[in-house]
Structure 1
């Protein structure tokens, strides 16, 4: 099967710039939401449950923890799909994790725990939707979830929740912060991503490059 052309050669420069803008906006919005989950002290998203659990045992940053988790997810995706490992999802995890490290240095004391949690849910969901729709650097967990929708015909929300449940289990064993916020992420964030993608298609006329349909080509945009 021939390899897909590089993004820069496949699209006009304006389209490349637009997709990169959507991707970077998604990373920033998601990192803001994840930071508020951590700040709420009510439990955080499964990825950060595992990252903070690792951080409590190993002297690493959240960004490095995210990068390590991404490497494992990408390796599983690569073996499962019999494809060479992709780099962009690794960059996304490291970028989002590093943004969280920076945002946690700011003074968030003026935001209460409940308010932080209420804001974190839509921010993480919308950020995830933008990253997926850009088709650039799809988060490693979402790459696995997309493969599950393609191979097993699962709804995307169910596939994503399944991958995050695995991260949550490992994070809990390592002592990561689990609470009502974690439940909110699994129920509401994962459940809102597809509606947000549909809203972006209808209201903003954004094309979904990451989950356009249930075909193997959908995941190739992340290469």
Structure 2
């Protein structure tokens, strides 16, 4: 049960961090910029488009891995979409979010940190792989590309799609594209160090 709670909490923190970037209007991460573009161009909420996009990716991943999707993917897909809309329309919509000035940039950095923390938590829970991450793994396995190259190429394509759809693409999007990976590594290192410290303290006591 603890693992599932960490997984849900991680996805929620990730969704909130990305939703914060959308509300700040400084530029969203590639995937969320595309969701906004789809929502504003075609209709439906970002969460609905997240679900539809994940369903398509789950099908592609099944072909890449040459096996049926894990049943837990249904829970992951639905939860991802719900949390996006809850964060955007149930929480941040009712909060005063500055879009200019130093506070906006600090909130942008906070969104990046929250996104990294969320990713580390839900990956560490090892409950289910998100279709986006599973796609990266499938590409790596099928064509032998490394993770960084796979992610950069794929998210560059997503950025172009977001631009065509009128999504919130800016310099901040490029910052998120190249800063998210290193931030995840830093958060992961800090969390590993803290767990090791707590374990040592438990043994000593």
Whose relative contact order is higher, 1 or 2, with alpha carbons under 8 Å and at least 6 apart? 2
Unaligned runs of at least 5 residues, structure 1: 1-16, 206-223
Pair 1:38 & 2:6 matched: no
Which secondary structure state, in structure 2, belongs to the residue aligned with residue 109 of structure 1?
Answer: coil
- Report deviation, 1:177: 0.5
* Per-residue deviation, residues 167-188 of structure 1 (Å, max 9, x unmatched): 2221111100101221121011
Q: TM-score scaled by structure 1?
A: 0.75
Which secondary structure state, in structure 2, belongs to the residue aligned with residue 133 of structure 1?
Answer: helix
- Report deviation, 1:110: 5.1
Aligned position for 1:131: 122
Aligned position for 2:40: 56
Counterpart Cα distance in 2 of 1:173 and 1:110: 27
Contact 2:18 2:111 survives alignment (8 Å): yes
Q: TM-score scaled by structure 2?
A: 0.81
Counterpart Cα distance in 2 of 1:175 and 1:160: 22
Which secondary structure state, in structure 2, belongs to the residue aligned with residue 137 of structure 1?
Answer: coil
Counterpart Cα distance in 1 of 2:147 and 2:187: 13
Aligned position for 1:10: none
Pick the aligned partner of 1:163 from 131, 154, 158.
154
> Would the alpha carbon gap of residues 93 and 167 (structure 1) be closer, same or farther in structure 2, given more than 3 Å must change?
farther
Contact 1:91 1:137 survives alignment (8 Å): no
* Pairwise CA RMSD: 2.2
> Would the alpha carbon gap of residues 34 and 187 (structure 1) be closer, same or farther in structure 2, given more than 3 Å must change?
same
Contact 1:32 1:100 survives alignment (8 Å): yes
Higher helix share: 2
Contact 1:27 1:95 survives alignment (8 Å): no
Count residues in correspondence: 189
Counterpart Cα distance in 2 of 1:155 and 1:45: 21
Contact 2:41 2:166 survives alignment (8 Å): no
> Would the alpha carbon gap of residues 192 and 161 (structure 1) be closer, same or farther in structure 2, given more than 3 Å must change?
farther
* Per-residue deviation, residues 71-92 of structure 1 (Å, max 9, x unmatched): 1211111111111134244134
* Per-residue deviation, residues 67-114 of structure 1 (Å, max 9, x unmatched): 111112111111111111342441342133223332332213357421
Pair 1:96 & 2:83 matched: yes
Which secondary structure state, in structure 2, belongs to the residue aligned with residue 75 of structure 1?
Answer: helix
